[in-house]
Amino acid sequence: MDFDLSEEQSLLKDSVERLLADRYDFEARKRHGKHPEGFSPEMWRAYAEQGLLAVPFSEEEGGIGGGTIETMIVMEAFGGALVLEPYLSTVVLAGGLLRHAASAEQRAEWLPGLIGGETRYALAHGERQARYDLHDVGVQARRDGEGWVLEGEKALVLHGDSADRLIVSARTAGGRRDRDGIGLFLVEAGAEGVSRRGYPTQDGQRAAEVSLSSVRVGPEAVIGSPEGALPAIERVADEAIAALCAEAVGAMDRMHRLTVEYLKTRKQFGVTIGSFQVLQHRAADMFIALEQARSMSFLATMMAEADDPAERSRAVSGAKVQIGRSGRTVGQGAVQLHGGVGMTMEYSVGHYFKRVTMIDQLFGDADHHLARVARMGSLLAA
């Protein structure tokens, strides 16, 4: 039993935190968000130069051979700075699918551009009717000679508007809610028949509705088995949840610190408001919620690599529940204890609150995952 980081991991943590301390304070973030992409292309290059885009890939493929712990380190730091760049979309989601499902030739062709920061990816999986059900896929993929033709609508594609390439899930066989018959296809964002409608999201990031109208792809675009992609999608979703849990912990940690700082400086009735016991207790409750979330983020991080999918999913879902609940306690508390100031766009705390809230709504909210854990049986059976 050991919760310490290795030497390399500590170095990684220091270097990300230093980069963000230098170039990603709250004012810088406002500027980064004003780029048409909704994030800073320069920061993206900086991540590439520092090897952050290489984190989860094997050394043979140009990566640094990190695992979920390294991803956690990066995401937690990103949460603390409310980073806008599409790391989750490109490295965790698309990168994860390439790692788990793509062939060696495909990886050799695509990973250098991803790791080098030249090509950004988005995962086009969600659909209007699917909500949080990963197996609910209505977009159709029809065989066309050697290749395929894709048809249908994808919803809430994170950073889908600025991505160079999309990984699109589509139904190759079976009914809309069947577990079998789902394939993954690499689609150039500029391909004929692809249209994208981008929009800002509540947390200052971006997403897109993607419409596929007779989009033709060749056989080389198929990632993994064209009828059996769901297990890889589920695995990557769990890895993404673990990453989001770490990001949420980074955001909650910062929110909590800002709040405690505020309690020590804001004066009313001639005293600092931190002298009121009810506020001390609320800050203590927030702290407890934060630490419980941190613990479950560790659990999700360690278990996201588990071989047994049931064991993995149970732990990850448990963590998502905890993060959702803690996020509410910490986020609502932070705003309340700041009074009116917490309600303003100009001050950072509300932005952390919004990001943590949106993390709860991504890949299944606390209630969705609570039901999943309840269905799967006890989390405590070891």
Partner 1 sequence: MDLRFTPEERAFRQEVRGFFEQNLPKDIHAKMIDGRHPSKDDIVTWQKILNKQGWAVPNWPVEWGGTGWDPVRQYIFLDELQSFPAPSPLQFGVYMVGPVIAQFGNEAQKKHFLPRIANLDDWWCQGFSEPGSGSDLASLKTRAVRDGDHYVVNGQKTWTTLGQYADWIFCLVRTDATVKKQEGISFLLIDMKTPGITVRPIQTIDGGHEVNEVFFDDVRVPVENLVGQENKGWDYAKFLLGNERTNIARVGVSKQRLRRLRELAALERVGDAPILENPRFAEKLAALEIELKALEMTQLRVVAAERKREKGKPDPASSILKIKGSEIQQATTELLMEVVGPFALPYAPEDEGDEHGHNEPPVGPDWAAPVAPTYFNWRKISIYGGSNEIQKNIIAKAILGL
Ligand X SMILES: Cc1cc2nc3c(=O)[nH]c(=O)nc-3n(C[C@H](O)[C@H](O)[C@H](O)COP(=O)(O)OP(=O)(O)OC[C@H]3O[C@@H](n4cnc5c(N)ncnc54)[C@H](O)[C@@H]3O)c2cc1C
Is the CB of residue 159 less than 8 Å from the CB of residue 169?
no
Residue 206 in tokens:
């971006």
Note the Cα 354 to chain centre separation in Å.
Answer: 15
Q: Which listed residue (59, 144, 220, 367) binds partner 1 by CB under 8 A?
A: 367
> Is the distance from CB of 232 to CB of 101 less than 8 angstroms?
yes
Q: Where in 320-379 is the site for ligand X (CB under 6 A)?
A: 336-337, 339-340, 343
Contacts with partner 1 by CB under 8 A: the residue count is 47
Sign of the dihedral defined by the CA atoms of residues 61, 158, 364, 69, in that order: positive
Give ∠ CA 304-306-311 in degrees, rounded to 5.
90
Determine the 3-state secondary structure of 366 from DSSP.
helix
- Do the strands 182-188 and 165-171 form a parallel or antiparallel pair, or are they unpaired? antiparallel
Distance CA 250, CA 17 (A): 11
Rg for the chain, CA atoms, rounded: 21
Site string for ligand X, 284-323 (x = CB under 6 A): ----------------------------------------
**Among 104, 278, 380, 382, which residue sits at the site for ligand X (rule: CB under 6 A)?**
278
Chosen from ligand X, partner 1, none, partner binding at 129 (C-beta under 5 to 8 Å by type): partner 1
Q: Which does 272 bind (CB under 5 to 8 A by kind): ligand X, partner 1, none?
A: none
Q: Select the binding partner of residue 335 from partner 1, ligand X, none (C-beta < 5 to 8 A, by kind).
A: partner 1
The item of ligand X, partner 1, none sharing an interface with residue 177, based on CB under 5 to 8 Å by kind, is partner 1
Distance from C-alpha of 235 to C-alpha of 224, rounded to nearest angstrom: 14
**Does 195 sit near partner 1 (CB under 8 A)?**
no
203, 355 contact by CB (below 8 A):
yes
* Binding test (CB under 6 A) with ligand X, winner from 18, 129, 268, 281: 268
d(CA 285, CA 330): 8
Of 128, 143, 257, 264, the one binding partner 1 (CB under 8 A) is: 128
Residue 361 binding partner per list partner 1, ligand X, none, with a CB distance cut-off of 5 to 8 Å that depends on partner kind: partner 1
User: 63 vs 126, which CB is nearer to partner 1?
Assistant: 126
Does the footprint of partner 1 cover residue 180 (CB under 8 A)?
no
Q: Given candidates 26, 132, 276, 347, which one binds ligand X under the rule CB under 6 A? A: 276
DSSP-assigned letters across all residues of 209-264: EEEEEEEEE-GGGEES-TTB-HHHHHHHHHHHHHHHHHHHHHHHHHHHHHHHHHHH
Please report whether residue 126 would count as binding partner 1 according to CB under 8 A: yes
Among 18, 142, 143, 177, binds partner 1 (CB under 8 A): 177
- How far is it, in rounded angstroms, from Cα 81 to Cα 255? 11
Q: What is the DSSP letter of 42?
A: H
The rounded distance, in Å, linking the Cα atoms of 14 and 222 is 39
Residue 363 backbone zone (phi > 0: left; psi -120 to 50: alpha; other: beta):
left
> H or E segment at 324?
helix 309-338
Q: Taking CB under 6 A as the rule, does residue 275 contact ligand X?
A: no
Build a one-symbol-per-residue string for 318-337: x at contacts with partner 1 by CB under 8 A, - elsewhere: ----------x---x--xx-
Of 1-9, 18-26, 266-274, 367-375, which segment contacts ligand X by CB under 6 A?
266-274
Residues 167-206 that bind ligand X (CB under 6 A): none
Measured CA to CA, the distance from residue 186 to residue 302 in angstroms comes to 29
Number of residues interacting with ligand X: please give it, by CB under 6 A. 12
Q: Is 216 or 328 the residue whose CB approaches partner 1 more closely?
A: 328
**Is residue 187 part of the contact set for partner 1 (CB under 8 A)?**
no
Q: Which two tokens stand for residue 175?
A: 């009914």
Hey, what long-range contacts does 307-311 have (CB within 8 A, 24 or more apart)? 309/231, 309/234, 309/235, 310/376
Determine, following the binding rule CB under 8 A, whether residue 225 of this chain makes contact with partner 1. no
Per CB under 8 A, does 82 bind partner 1?
Answer: no
The one among 6, 10, 195, 268 contacting partner 1 by CB under 8 A: 268
Binding site for ligand X (CB under 6 A): 266, 268-269, 273, 276, 278-279, 336-337, 339-340, 343
Residues that bind partner 1 (CB under 8 A): 126, 128-129, 131-133, 136, 155-156, 177, 197, 199-202, 207, 209, 267-270, 276, 278-279, 328, 332, 335-336, 339-340, 342-346, 350-351, 353-354, 357-358, 361-362, 365, 367-368, 371
